Amino acid sequence: MATAAATRGSAAIVLEGLTKDYGAKRALDGVDLELRSGEIFGYLGSNGAGKTTTIRCLLGLIRPSAGRATVLGLDCRDDSVEVRRRTGYLPGDLRLYPRLSARQLLDYLGGLRGGVSSRRVDELAQRMECDLSQRCGAMSHGQRQKVGVIQALMHDPDVLILDEPTATLDPLMQRNVHDLIREARARGATIFVSSHDLPEVARLCDRAGILRRGRLVAVQDVNDLAQRGQHVLAIEFLEPVDPAVFSTLPGVSQVTASDRTLTITASGDLDAVVKAAARYRVHALRSAEVDLDEVFHDYYRTESGDAR
């Protein structure tokens, strides 16, 4: 806690033991997290893990049952108005006013923010290829999402809270959104992105936290998170090899044999495995791609294993 206090000055978002109960159900369970100013943070978790609950606490839409959340040093409950003034938010389940055109909607929301630059709105609309004269009710999911992105960014907020920002966008638009997010970061903004899309988080974020059943089970640099992953090596030998040679090596968790092929699952360095394999004649060696997805599920497996 001492280090948390020391770095609070430069922390943009701080969650301290954030807990939220809905009746008997605990949606968030003592989440501690600190976002550095100017980072893009991925908040990972499956549906119902508590991502949206966290975000609603940050925006003051719900009150924590215990603990607290601050944004830019402002308490999310007591200084909610000021927090929201400096924050841009894209809801996960975005709903617009069907009878308003995108322009009218943005004018309305901009007016509630005390006015925003129409040049900025036009620029964002152009970047997002969004026709602002269209009625929101006549828009497709993807088009509505574009309007959502524009309204979150139009006042150049210091903090961006994006709940599944690109879920309904095509890959090209995803890239546009990622560019806009990176530009916001370049301006000094801090970005909190919730997602269940690991590849997206891997591409976009500096750090990521994994939320599971309301608990934050890991927070790591995205690169480290990838390294923590398991390697799956399939080695096809030209001679019969005893699987026991590999299963006793450090880091190896599983060896399966079929014919002359051994499939070895290992974590950490592969040095020992490769050196052991080098003593035999190798026909082929395939390595399965290490991605966040496996890391993610690995976390989930171990956690649920612990729980039971």
Partner 1 sequence: MHADVLRRELLDHRRSLIGCTVGGVLLALMYVLFYPTIRSGGAGIEALLKSMPKGFQSAFIGGGVDYLSPAGYLGTELFSILVPGLLLVMGVLAGGRALAGEEQDGTIDLLLSTPIRRGRLAAEKAGGAMLPLYVVAAALWALVALAGPSQGLDVSLGGLAVALLAVALLGTGFGMLAFLISSATGSVGLGAGIAGALAVAMYALNIIGALVPALTGIANAVSPFHWDGGSGVLANGVPWSGLGLLLACPIVLLSLSLLAYERRDLTT
- Which residues in this chain contact partner 1 in the complex, by CB under 8 A? 22, 52, 56, 59-63, 81-82, 84-85, 87-89, 91, 93-97, 99, 108-109, 111-114, 151
- Interior angle at CA 146, CA 141 and CA 150, nearest 5: 145
Q: Of 115 and 268, which CB lies nearer to partner 1 in the complex structure?
A: 115
Kindly give, in sequence order, each residue whose CB lies less than 8 Å from that of residue 146, ignoring residues fewer than 6 positions away. 128, 129, 130, 169, 173
Q: Of 127 and 155, which CB lies nearer to partner 1 in the complex structure?
A: 155
Closest distance between partner 1 and the C-beta of residue 102, in Å?
Answer: 12
HSE of 29 in the Cβ direction (CA atoms, 13 Å)? 13
Q: Of 84 and 207, which CB lies nearer to partner 1 in the complex structure?
A: 84
Per DSSP bridges, beta strands 87-90 and 252-258 are: unpaired
How far apart (Å, rounded) are the C-alpha atoms in residues 243 and 235? 11
Closest distance between partner 1 and the C-beta of residue 26, in Å?
Answer: 15
Q: Of 93 and 239, which CB lies nearer to partner 1 in the complex structure?
A: 93
Closest distance between partner 1 and the C-beta of residue 182, in Å?
Answer: 22
Q: Of 72 and 217, which CB lies nearer to partner 1 in the complex structure?
A: 72
Nearest to 27 by CA among 3, 51, 8: 51
Closest distance between partner 1 and the C-beta of residue 145, in Å?
Answer: 13
Closest distance between partner 1 and the C-beta of residue 58, in Å?
Answer: 10
Cα end-to-end distance, the chain, whole Å: 30
